[in-house]
A = this chain, B = another copy of it.
Amino acid sequence: MGKVLMIGAGGVATVAAFKIAQNADVFTDFMIASRRKEKCDRIVEAIGNPAIKTAQVDADDVEQLKALMNSYKPDIVVNLALPYQDLTIMEACLACGCNYLDTANYEPRDKAHFEYSWQWAYKERFEQAGLTAILGCGFDPGVSGIFTAYAAKHHFDEIQYLDIVDCNAGNHHKAFATNFNPEINIREITQKGLYYKDGQWIETEPLAVHKPLTYPNIGPRESYLLHHEELESLVKNYPTIKQARFWMTFGQQYLTYLDVIQNIGMSRIDEVEYEAPLADGSGKTVKVNIVPLQFLKAVLPNPQDLGANYDGETSIGCRIRGMKDGKELTYYIYNNCKHQEAYNETGMQGVSYTTGVPAMIGAMMFLKGLWRKPGVWNVEEFDPDPFMEQLGKQGLPWHEVFGGDLEL
């Protein structure tokens, strides 16, 4: 049915690769590319399908990306690289006539800041090129927006209050580890909180607003208000929304570690000049620029290695209040994902799994012609029904609660 080029070879990409390989009727030709080709080769080896192609590419380099796309000629590029690299990959897609999908919005390297504006600015160019770009098609953003679209389509006349709730009740049995790329994770959490209320964006101090929320099959967990990128598109696409917030759980120990990491200066994203010996054994020293947070990533446990001993589960969903037939309705739609089951299937833990599966389904929606319209789109702007149907089939079953206590 179609050729897919996936860029990236981390935990999420590994899951997406397993899922793409499982759906070979849709993905008839598949290439994985990354800065380090050996990481792609390891994924192919884990899947055990030597028909999957691999390639080396520096996703910061538009020319390298173009050369690869021009030679492989994919129908769609699934971008699971770093968020800094969204724009170079979009540029290359435009130049080479490839459709595009990603799971996280562009961020400049030197500023932790979520905003779709950089990518939305490509809308007209994708339209004119007749190409589809699907933004933010992981779990959150991604399924969170599709859940909202599904609620709007089937259950509400008017969505008024939206709370996206993201709980990881897993235990990796390490003192500290992030669930995904530590650099991106720590950037996300240490920025100020932001939520939408009555047409305005309200900023909070980082992690200042929190309360216990009860998650299905898990129980109450302290949940912290964060800014999360899908809020920006959802309040635009559902203008009846009066309030939109995003909540994520963190354990006390995680927050203590985060505090310390910030206070000792290791979460800094500016460059520090540092003199160090060359690794070539020459004994020569050089001055290099080091971003402390990136160096920290090099010494922290690799989130991809957490899977084996990770137990417990994640629970991510949307708690929605609004009007249906003139009456107020509460609605909670969620998926729970067990880390061990994710690991048994793909060798990766649940946080990677819940992001990688929707990325594959988004690409499937495109190749099946169900999500295909020239321009740059957020996921809630497509029909949620075929996506929701696949979600259950592909390992992320979802559940609905009507009229329950949203606690919010």
Contact = CB atoms under 8 A, between A and B. Distances in A.
The count of identical subunits is 2
Interface residues of A, number: 31
B261 A264 contact: yes
A280 B275 CA distance: 12
Main secondary structure of the interface of A (DSSP, over half): mixed
Contacts of A280: 287
Q: Which 3 A-B residue pairings sit nearest by Cβ, starting from the closest?
A: A265-B299, A175-B263, A276-B288
20 contacts: A175-B263, A176-B260, A176-B264, A256-B260, A257-B264, A260-B261, A265-B300, A266-B266, A266-B296, A274-B279, A276-B276, A276-B290, A277-B288, A277-B289, A278-B287, A278-B289, A279-B286, A279-B288, A279-B289, A286-B286
A299 B278 contact: no
Interface string A242-271: 000000000000001101110111101000
Interface of A: 175-176, 256-257, 259-261, 263-266, 268, 272-274, 276-280, 286-290, 292, 295-296, 298-300
Contacts of A276: 274, 276, 288-290
A300 B175 contact: no
Contacts of A256: 256, 260
Given A266-B299, A274-B276, A286-B286, 17 more contacts: A175-B263, A257-B264, A261-B264, A264-B266, A264-B300, A265-B299, A266-B296, A274-B279, A274-B290, A276-B288, A276-B289, A278-B286, A278-B287, A279-B287, A279-B288, A280-B287, A286-B288
A1 B210 CA distance: 68
